[in-house]
A = this chain, B = another copy of it.
């Protein structure tokens, strides 16, 4: 059997994104998408550091609507990745700005 080398950081990250999506999408009968309830559970569990600072309770409603590009009331894996990408870009820009002043 071929020897499996340990995954790289990028491979681990891709695996994690798939595993996290499946964990939350699998909570109801349709396990290929995140329903509104599953999206809220994901946000309040995995991204609580972000959601707990949101004083306006409609922020998550608006995020879900914006992410749901095909407006079917569910987030598929591509729509979920757009959320992660958007957050990563925001973090990256905020780190880059902070570095300019140090």
Q: Mark A8-46, 1 if CB is under 8 A from B, else 0.
A: 111111111111110000000000100000000010011
Name A84's contact: one of B14, B20, B45, B87 (CB within 8 Å).
B14
How many copies altogether?
Answer: 2
CB < 8 Å neighbour of A32 from B14, B85, B96: B96
Q: How far is the CB of A70 from chain B (nearest CB, A)?
A: 15
Which range holds the interface residue count of chain A? Answer: 20 to 34
Best-surrounded residue of A9, A49, A78, A95 (most CB of chain B within 10 A): A9
Which 6 pairs from chain A and chain B are nearest by CB?
A10-B46, A81-B85, A8-B46, A13-B16, A14-B88, A13-B13
Determine the chain B residues whose CB is within 8 A of the CB of A77 once the complex forms. Answer: 88-89, 92
Chain B minimum-CB-distance residue to A50: B11
Cβ-defined partner of A89 (8 Å) among B9, B19, B45, B78: B78
